[in-house]
Amino acid sequence: MVRIAIRADGGKGVGLGHIMRCLSLANAFRKAGHLVYFFTKYNMGIALLEKEKFEVIRIPSEEKETEGFFYGNSEQLVDEADVILGLLHQYKIDILIVDSYNITNQYFLTLKSSVSCLAYIDDENKSTYPVDVVINGNVTAAYLGYRKYDDNQVLLLGPQYNMIRDEFKNISPRGIRENVEEIMITTGGSDPYHMTEKLLNIFLNNDYFSKVRFNVLVGGGFTTSQELVDLSQNHDQVVLYSNTVADTPEIIRHSSISEIMLRSDIAISAGGSTLYEFAACGVPVLAFVVAENQRFLVEKMEHLGYIINLGWYNQICEEQVVDCTKRLMNDYAARTKMSSKCLELVDSLGSERIVKELTREFVSS
């Protein structure tokens, strides 16, 4: 049995994308008979991990919960590395997997000699990382120009290593309806820019969409839930969903995300790992960018014909949303082509491939 630690965070500011893909990987390790720990910080991510029955070790931190920039000073990151170092020895960890943007190469160098394998889940290739394995399961990985840190480093790049959640494995996508009847709107686990409310108001104020049902995912980190509840109460065509059961108003229905996706004809979604989940369901998507680390993915997926790119969230106007949505609704052939292409993007075996690579290359049986 191999002992694995995963360092990842999930919360209102950073979202749940890192935690969700690491959960898929953790489940694959667990199914293979290995022991998995999570080293993490924020309450929302911790609650999700504990729900999945993983052992969680909370890391103390004073940094603000935000993505892409480390609030604080470099000493705090050094202190965290020291904490992790102690935990690696305490729990006799063989493999450490890090999934965070707030990391430096010195952080990796501090930890590298204490485990048999140090792996980094990356999206952007901002550095040549001093780790044993770099994992990038995005369609963009082949275009980022990765170079090995040394001859022994292993690069696991491309959609064949995409860590899609178990919920989307072996899924049976439905056919494409000629007429669009239902549209899904999602921004993920949180919506700091209130895009869900903005998009709904655009559609509700346009008679063209008066017969369309809007399936709206309300994430656990939403701060505008009451506004969405009001819209749903005032408009029968707005149906609110949550994939959690904790403290949600009665009007918000509980459902798995895959069920909502599969009943929707098209979707409007923030960029990120959710796009692969829509692909697994064969749902045509109009995507918008809410963070810099999503930009290249959304642009490349549009270029390759998987999605339609609406651009940055703060530059989207009413006319653009209406026009793009209407054109996709009215083009059955385009929707069918997008759906078929998306179904070929991920085969849902990425996590299992990563488990085999990490345990075969670095841990003796």
Q: How far apart are CA 293 and CA 14, in angstroms?
A: 12
Q: What structural domains does the chain harbor?
A: 3-164+347-362 (3.40.50.11190), 168-343 (3.40.50.2000)
To the question of whether residue 277 is assigned a binding role by annotation, the answer is yes
Q: H/E element holding 56?
A: strand 55-58
What residues are paired with 185 via a beta bridge? 216, 268
Identify the pLDDT of residue 61. Answer: 64
**Per-residue pLDDT tens over the stretch 6-16:** 999 987 767 77
Q: How far apart are CA 234 and CA 44, in angstroms?
A: 30
Identify the pLDDT of residue 179. Answer: 97
Q: How far apart are CA 125 and CA 135, in angstroms?
A: 10
Identify the pLDDT of residue 11. Answer: 79
Q: How far apart are CA 167 and CA 349, in angstroms?
A: 12
Identify the pLDDT of residue 348. Answer: 87
Please list, in sequence order, all residues whose beta carbon lies within 8 angstroms of the beta carbon of residue 300, skipping any fewer than 6 positions away: 139, 140, 143
The predicted model scores a pTM of: 0.88
Identify the pLDDT of residue 74. Answer: 60
Q: How far apart are CA 65 and CA 46, in angstroms?
A: 14
To the question of whether residue 58 is assigned a binding role by annotation, the answer is no
Q: What is the pLDDT along the chain (365 residues), one digit of tens a residue?
A: 999 999 999 877 677 789 999 999 999 999 999 999 999 998 889 998 999 999 999 998 654 554 443 444 566 677 899 999 999 999 999 999 999 988 899 999 999 999 999 999 999 999 999 999 999 999 999 999 999 999 999 999 999 999 998 899 888 888 899 999 999 999 988 898 999 999 999 999 999 999 999 999 998 778 768 899 999 999 999 999 998 755 667 889 999 999 999 999 999 999 988 999 999 999 999 999 998 989 999 999 999 999 999 999 999 999 999 999 999 999 999 999 999 999 999 988 999 999 999 998 655 54
Q: Which residues are catalytic?
A: 18
Q: CA angle at residue 181 from 176 to 183, to 5 degrees? A: 90
* Distance between start and end Cα atoms, the chain: 8
> Which amino acid would we find at residue 97?
I
Decide: 36 and 52 in contact? Cβ < 8 Å: no
Identify the pLDDT of residue 173. Answer: 85
**Per-residue pLDDT tens over the stretch 67-76:** 443 444 566 6
